[in-house]
Structure 1
Amino acid sequence: MSGTQATTGAVAAAFAAGPLLLGVRHHGPGSARAVRAALDAARPAAVLIEGPPEGDALLPLAADPQMRPPVALLAHAVDDPGRAAFWPLAEFSPEWVAIRWALAHDVPVRFIDLPATHSLALREPHGEETAPAPEAPAEGAATPAVDPVRVLAETAGYDDPERWWEDVVEHRSPAADATADALAPFTALAEAMTALREAYGDGGHPRDAVREAYMRIQLRTARKEFGDGVAVVCGAWHVPALAARTTLAADRALLKGLPKVKAEMTWVPWTHRRLARHSGYGAGIDSPGWYGHLFGAADRPIERWMTKVAGLLREEDRFVSTAHVIEAVRLAETLAAMRGRPLAGLSETTDAVRAVMCEGSDVPLALIQDRLVVGETLGEVPDSAPAVPLQRDLTRGQRTLRLKPEALEKELDLDLRKETDAARSRLLHRLRLLGIGWGEPAEGRGSTGTFRESWRLRWEPELYVRVAEAGVWGTTVQTAATAKAESQALAATALSEVTALAERCLLAHLPDALPVVMKALADRAALDADVGHLADALPALARSLRYGDVRSTDTTALAEVAAGLAERICVALPPACTGLDADGAEALRRQVDGVHSAIGLLVAGATPAGTEAEAEAGAGTGSGTEAGATPAEGLRDRWGAVLRKLAGRDTVAGIIRGRATRLLLDEGRLTEDEAALLMGLALSPGTPPTDAAAWIEGFVGGASGGGMLLVHDERLLSLVDAWLTGVPADTFTDVLPLLRRTFSAYEPGVRRTLGELVRRGPVPEGARNDGTDHAYPGFGPGLDQDRADAVEPVLHLLLGRTPIPAEATA
């Protein structure tokens, strides 16, 4: 009897015994090939698939030319979109193969698993998960009581269930399957699962009893409609339960009283990475990229795989020749033969690639694992698939701005002077405000101006759930972001929250939300008397003022609030700087730094923001001197007076006095003689060593250039040196940690220079023959104007500027 006759007889016998139960392993290419062969042989009248029945209306989309797996059915609760579940399908998933076969042969196809309306209700709120599967642990359980594949592998003498599955199922030759009984694999697997169910019961999946009861009810309904010529594609674990003889009443009793929620469902793109087990998907696999290759390779899978690996390594500028590919294939086949395997598997190909193409290194092997073994494939869904209005608006925006979602992380640099880049920036900032983390700001390259931005983009399937959640705020990205910003402004209790929100609204260009945010900001600022809160809030407002011209945003109201905050800080800060412990003083020192920078930005805000762009690119976008202007006249002087108070009061913490002195010196509001006098007083013998060390940290620690200040100012270095050598031995260990923290922050070259200067020690007067009287060689007491003028032409050349004639500055 021929193989075809044997197959036909087996199919006839199977249908005579009842519906055709095709037990599979989810996402297994061998199972997928076996399902296709069985369906071709059986030609069932209907195909039933393990999955949520709400997806029946979406099944025809699987035949759409735009549909490209991996994809997933996404179900979410209408009233709580965060309560969601996915049913992923890859090209090599048996369920996907069955769906495509049914649509291609015009055979009815349906889902028969527990409806999403029940499964979502059984989940915890915001329990975004993939759908339960035979290999997955039961919800609420740390690990499953039994892993069917592992038990079968151990029974066969394998220590690796994946290797056993590959040998028994995945490495079955398609040519051999064509002549063998197409149902034989399913018969054998059903017998094995029956034995396991008898031994382990539900296997640690108590909810499976409810799911299987619903599937049996659906199977009865299909048999009434189509007769026994029905094929069921489900997890092999469920086959014994579906074949069991039960009454309709008993099955309905199991379903009685199940909670329900209103649910919606659609197709969404998925990724190979999210199919992997390490992603948290319990029914996942270790190597979706490898399995996809096995399913798609019509012949010579090992040779084709090695060619892919060689191509990837060549793209990364590694030398891989054709000889490497040939040798790797031979080694993989040899390893398979030595290990008694029917075909070289992933472990053999990996060992061969490591030895031949990677020269024994695991570094390039990690790249192969990430790019090929797991893979970064992102599926596609047709435009006709149902979606929430917000998702459709986001999709339109992505296409208009040519921002295609990609699974692989991508760097994006934006120039906000260009309309397209500015629109991209607005979209990404609006999505961040909505909690849709497609893009994250990154450090820019080559510019610190306000007209440049850098982003890291990476699209994950879970973002579709975030979009559905954000859909409650509006039907477009702009209206949704506006509504959420207004809601957050009204709900905010801390001033810093509102100031941060105002900055985000400016970045996202939400003019309709700004009035509400500004009113909330003014109200919180008027009620908050804590100078620390005011100091934390001011920097965000000052940064926001820099965006006005570049982003075409009116920041007048924001500037008024910021100037008012700065005035209140100037009044309240001096009393707040007394009576502080070490931690409180350090925190307030950081706030003083922030306020100092913010006030500099507020004063600079009177100059168009475009001037900064002109300074960097020579083509600013400023529209006039009124745009971005701030009512900050005289604010810098008032702040300078506050710093003088802080620097001169003995009751102020040492670290704050030192920082105030340094800020005044840097701005030219304090002469070098005055700074040396204040340091001398702070380091006088009557000052406790810990207070003196704190003053030093405030003066030369933390800020950039602190070490160079000591290098170039001999008097300050001499004062620190003299104080340090005079610290008593019994208190030196108390101040050492503070000093070490201060000086360890300097660049190695600065520390080396300081050490050399201290090692040399002061030079006695008269020992120098250059006519100077300063102590350290190599540094003068003041600015050498002639040497400074000699540098100026080089600076103009580097900056591309035309030197200003001397008469123009006279």
Structure 2
Amino acid sequence: MSPQVRVLGIRHHGPGSARAIVRALTEFEPDTVLIEGPSDADPLVALAGSERMRPPVALLAYATAEPATAAFWPLATFSPEWQALQWALWNDADVRFCDLPASLALAADRPVGGDGRDPLAALAAAGGYDDFEQWWDAVVESGSGDEPGGTPDFDAITEAMSAVREITDPDEHTARREAHMRQVLRATIKAGAQKIAVVCGAAHAPALSGKLGPAAPDARLLRGLPKVKSSLTWVPWTHSRLSTASGYGAGITSPGWYHHLFTHREHTTARWFTKVARVLRDEDLPVSSAHVIEATRLADTLAALRGRPLAGLGEVTEATRAVLCDGDDVLLDLVTRRLVVGEALGAVPDETPTVPLDADLQARWKSLRLKRSALSKDLDLDLRKDLDLQRSQLLHRLRLVGVDWGVPAASTVRSTGTFRESWSLRWEPELSVAIVEASRWGSTIESAAHALVLDRARSPEVSLAQVVELLEQALLADLRDAIPQLLAAADSAAALDRDVEHLMAALPTLIRTLRYGDVRGTDLTSLGHVTDGLLVRICAGLPLAATGLDHDAADALRHAVDEVHTALGLRDEPDSTDRWLDALGALADRDDVDGLLTGRAVRLLRDMGRMGEAETTRRVSRALSVGSEPAVKARWIDGFVGAGGLLLVHDRNLLRLIDGWVSGLHEQDFLDVLPMLRRTFGAFTPPERRTLGEMIRGGVPVHAGVAVDAERGGRAVRATALILGVPA
């Protein structure tokens, strides 16, 4: 008896197709099931039957020598391929994949899988349906002539696709894929299979139906194709990633909705609106049972008016907007993200093949009680606790090796202590590829991070700032064995780098590391010597480095000066501070330096008490005196005032000088310097701008002195001293 072959053309990730596949397989009872997918993934098929395998999941294939070259074949609960796998495993049928092997697909100079077009979705759109599942139910299932729950006519789908293929011929890559599918089918028949079911995309069904013809043309088409050594495994996937193009061609826009359609066949619409209500209630919005009932009625009515047997996503969305969201598109977007797309994250069993680095990561996150989630989760850490400290070290090590599971975030805890760290955790499927890429550096997260840091530090092109940044990251990641070599690399890079701006860019990071390194219990004595040597070179070269700069370069140097000044204040080491202030004094006395820099130097010296009020006023008067161009004066004022509006609020003499200069500008001069002045004063906070405006308009006299109530002031001083615990 000749073998029976039934080709079941489906839509990838379609709930209707998934239900139809189960019914068709149950009716046909094949002994062999061939599924569209990389044929070299056959050894992984058995894992799909594990109780610990929970969709959505994906087959991951990557080039063994170059893991960045990778591809995914995702499967959800409502994917026909997944349901076919499950049926075959539960019914002891032989099951295998029949598409091009990943070793060939990865070597092809094109994306894996289809071209992004969905022929069945195109048929649905041509029939006037904006939701494929509505079309499938109305035309394929309900309109098939079968009894309710019967098997749709897959032959009719194949016939429709044959008509489509007559208009658009498949490209060369698709022809090779179909040639390989036919070769696998021939081999399956030759091996003795009697009843064979082929589950493939509807577009391929005509190429696999009927007589297969001679094998020679297919063999010639596949001969000589480029090939790479590849590795395959299962990895967790997410619903949101199903909404993008994948190894199975076109993505879907509503995976959460499709999952709901597949898992809830009765009272589908009412149950959906119940989920929507729950999401809105979680946001403290008043949604009652009456809202759910009214939304269900509206969706069903819209479907009836449009001549459709069931409410689809379009009707459900309109009812959600009108009844549950009160027309608010922001709330509708929330429902779309949470439910229509969804963020379900799958799981794979522990015995799934993986690289040693991934196994170490899984063991670490389990021991640290961290969970992977497709939703962003805030994690606040207290580094005084051993568990939180280890969590921090793991997340920093992962960032070093390029696995950005955690991203530093603003703290949700009202504390400014250096023992606080906040992270935002979110697992993305692409991180599985990043783990494979990082595995070349070591078999554990710690060893991989250690090797990668040292490799970057030894690079001939590495700059001093980059070495210092690596040192800081290594301290945060607790890579203690790498610290001595990184310190030596920083010392060597500093000795070879003659660019003062490069040295200034590195200094704040070094000081920050010195200041906060003791929180993590690291000995940084040798780092202090590197920092001191760096500061000596910066102070010696700053006046010369500031000479002859254009405006852009002066702006950049001013930012670097501010960063170094702030960092030295953080270090609070008298000798270093004195050396830095001496350098600023030399800069302030230079007449051949951009006024932005000399004005900034004067301001910083005044703030640190190195320059008295009288001297400061004299320098401001000289900078604004007749003889300089208005634009030059504006640059000086920008450097002096910067973002410090409080200086002018409290120092009325300086405010009077600047006010007098601005008031005395001629019309054209005023227009010329207005952009610079707007940038300067626009950086003030709103309260500062408001106060200064009132003072200038006369609300607060600029020239008059301020009366001081000594008794009230004394009470304030004593109260402050009591709070600080110092003698009044």
Question: Do the structures match in fold with TM over 0.5?
Answer: yes
Deviates most, 48-57 or 369-378: 48-57
- From 676, 683, 690, the equivalent of 1:752 is 690
- 1:643 partner SS: helix
- 1:546 partner SS: helix
Task: Supply the AA of the counterpart residue of 1:490.
Answer: R
- 1:82 partner SS: strand
Distance in structure 2 (CA, Å) of the matches to 1:413 and 1:171: 53
Gaps of at least 5 residues in structure 2 are none
- 2:200 partner SS: strand
Per-residue CA deviation, residues 178-221 of structure 1 (Å, 9 max, x unaligned), is 3x3x2x4311101111111222221xx42011111111111111
1:152 maps to: 123
- From 71, 74, 83, the equivalent of 2:57 is 71
Distance in structure 2 (CA, Å) of the matches to 1:749 and 1:512: 50
Task: Supply the AA of the counterpart residue of 2:482.
Answer: A
- 1:273 partner SS: helix
2:440 maps to: 472
RMSD: 2.3
Contact 2:403-2:431 within 8 A present in 1 as well = yes
Residue 704 of structure 2 corresponds to residue 776 of structure 1: yes
Task: Supply the AA of the counterpart residue of 1:647.
Answer: A
- From 720, 733, 752, the equivalent of 2:658 is 720
2:632 maps to: 691
Per-residue CA deviation, residues 647-692 of structure 1 (Å, 9 max, x unaligned), is 2222222111111111111122222222112112211223332222
- 1:168 partner SS: helix
1:548 Cα offset (Å): 1.5
1:375 Cα offset (Å): 0.4
**TM-score w.r.t. structure 1 length?**
0.86
Contact 1:113-1:215 within 8 A present in 2 as well = yes
Aligned CA distance change for structure 1 residues 52 and 569 (closer, same or farther; 3 Å): same
2:174 maps to: 208
Aligned CA distance change for structure 1 residues 463 and 159 (closer, same or farther; 3 Å): closer
Residue 496 of structure 2 corresponds to residue 527 of structure 1: yes
1:792 Cα offset (Å): 4.5
1:78 Cα offset (Å): 0.7
Contact 1:77-1:84 within 8 A present in 2 as well = yes
Per-residue CA deviation, residues 630-653 of structure 1 (Å, 9 max, x unaligned), is xxx612111111111122222222
Distance in structure 2 (CA, Å) of the matches to 1:594 and 1:106: 69
Aligned CA distance change for structure 1 residues 233 and 654 (closer, same or farther; 3 Å): same
Distance in structure 2 (CA, Å) of the matches to 1:694 and 1:657: 10
1:542 Cα offset (Å): 1.3
Distance in structure 2 (CA, Å) of the matches to 1:289 and 1:729: 64
Task: Supply the AA of the counterpart residue of 1:112.
Answer: C
1:237 maps to: 203
1:101 Cα offset (Å): 0.8
2:726 maps to: 804
1:788 Cα offset (Å): 4.6
1:165 Cα offset (Å): 4.1
Task: Supply the AA of the counterpart residue of 1:571.
Answer: A
Distance in structure 2 (CA, Å) of the matches to 1:338 and 1:762: 70
Contact 1:547-1:553 within 8 A present in 2 as well = no
Contact 2:142-2:148 within 8 A present in 1 as well = no
- 1:695 partner SS: helix
Per-residue CA deviation, residues 226-267 of structure 1 (Å, 9 max, x unaligned), is 333111111111111112533111111111111111111111
1:413 Cα offset (Å): 1.2
2:527 maps to: 558
1:335 maps to: 302
Task: Supply the AA of the counterpart residue of 2:304.
Answer: A
Distance in structure 2 (CA, Å) of the matches to 1:714 and 1:388: 68
Residue 460 of structure 2 corresponds to residue 486 of structure 1: no
1:101 maps to: 87
Distance in structure 2 (CA, Å) of the matches to 1:59 and 1:283: 24
Deviates most, 706-715 or 152-161: 152-161
1:484 Cα offset (Å): 0.4
Gaps of at least 5 residues in structure 1 are 1-14, 138-143, 605-632, 764-773
1:791 maps to: 716
1:319 maps to: 286
1:150 Cα offset (Å): 4.5
- From 571, 591, 606, the equivalent of 1:665 is 606
Distance in structure 2 (CA, Å) of the matches to 1:309 and 1:97: 27
Per-residue CA deviation, residues 588-608 of structure 1 (Å, 9 max, x unaligned), is 11111111122223445xxxx
Contact 1:83-1:123 within 8 A present in 2 as well = no
Structure 2 counterparts to residues 588-667 of structure 1, below 5 A: 588-604=557-573, 634-667=575-608
1:741 maps to: 679
Contact 1:757-1:776 within 8 A present in 2 as well = no
1:149 Cα offset (Å): 2.3
Aligned CA distance change for structure 1 residues 735 and 480 (closer, same or farther; 3 Å): same
1:306 maps to: 273
**TM-score w.r.t. structure 2 length?**
0.95
Q: Which runs of 4+ in 1 moved over 6 A?
A: 170-175, 278-281
Contact 2:589-2:598 within 8 A present in 1 as well = yes
- 2:99 partner SS: coil
Deviates most, 95-104 or 244-253: 244-253
Residue 200 of structure 2 corresponds to residue 262 of structure 1: no
Residue 126 of structure 2 corresponds to residue 132 of structure 1: no
1:507 Cα offset (Å): 1.4
1:373 Cα offset (Å): 0.6
- 2:96 partner SS: strand
Contact 1:269-1:381 within 8 A present in 2 as well = yes
Distance in structure 1 (CA, Å) of the matches to 2:698 and 2:668: 27
Contact 1:30-1:171 within 8 A present in 2 as well = no
Distance in structure 2 (CA, Å) of the matches to 1:280 and 1:712: 66
Aligned CA distance change for structure 1 residues 112 and 741 (closer, same or farther; 3 Å): same
Per-residue CA deviation, residues 380-410 of structure 1 (Å, 9 max, x unaligned), is 1111111111111111111111111110111
Aligned CA distance change for structure 1 residues 335 and 250 (closer, same or farther; 3 Å): same
Calculate percent identity across the aligned residue pairs. Answer: 53
- 2:381 partner SS: strand
- 1:51 partner SS: strand
Task: Supply the AA of the counterpart residue of 1:48.
Answer: L
Distance in structure 2 (CA, Å) of the matches to 1:496 and 1:635: 20
Task: Supply the AA of the counterpart residue of 1:267.
Answer: W
Per-residue CA deviation, residues 39-80 of structure 1 (Å, 9 max, x unaligned), is 111111111111112221111111111111000010111100
Deviates most, 549-558 or 71-80: 549-558
Distance in structure 1 (CA, Å) of the matches to 2:226 and 2:710: 84
Distance in structure 1 (CA, Å) of the matches to 2:246 and 2:331: 22
Task: Supply the AA of the counterpart residue of 1:804.
Answer: V
Distance in structure 2 (CA, Å) of the matches to 1:73 and 1:433: 26
Task: Supply the AA of the counterpart residue of 1:467.
Answer: I
1:280 Cα offset (Å): 10
1:727 Cα offset (Å): 2.5
1:623 maps to: none
Contact 1:275-1:281 within 8 A present in 2 as well = no
Contact 2:446-2:479 within 8 A present in 1 as well = yes
- 1:513 partner SS: helix
Distance in structure 2 (CA, Å) of the matches to 1:724 and 1:271: 61
- From 641, 644, 647, the equivalent of 1:700 is 641
1:478 Cα offset (Å): 0.5
Aligned CA distance change for structure 1 residues 175 and 427 (closer, same or farther; 3 Å): farther
Residues paired across the two proteins, number:
725
- From 224, 227, 237, the equivalent of 2:190 is 224
- From 271, 277, 281, the equivalent of 2:244 is 277
Aligned CA distance change for structure 1 residues 350 and 777 (closer, same or farther; 3 Å): farther
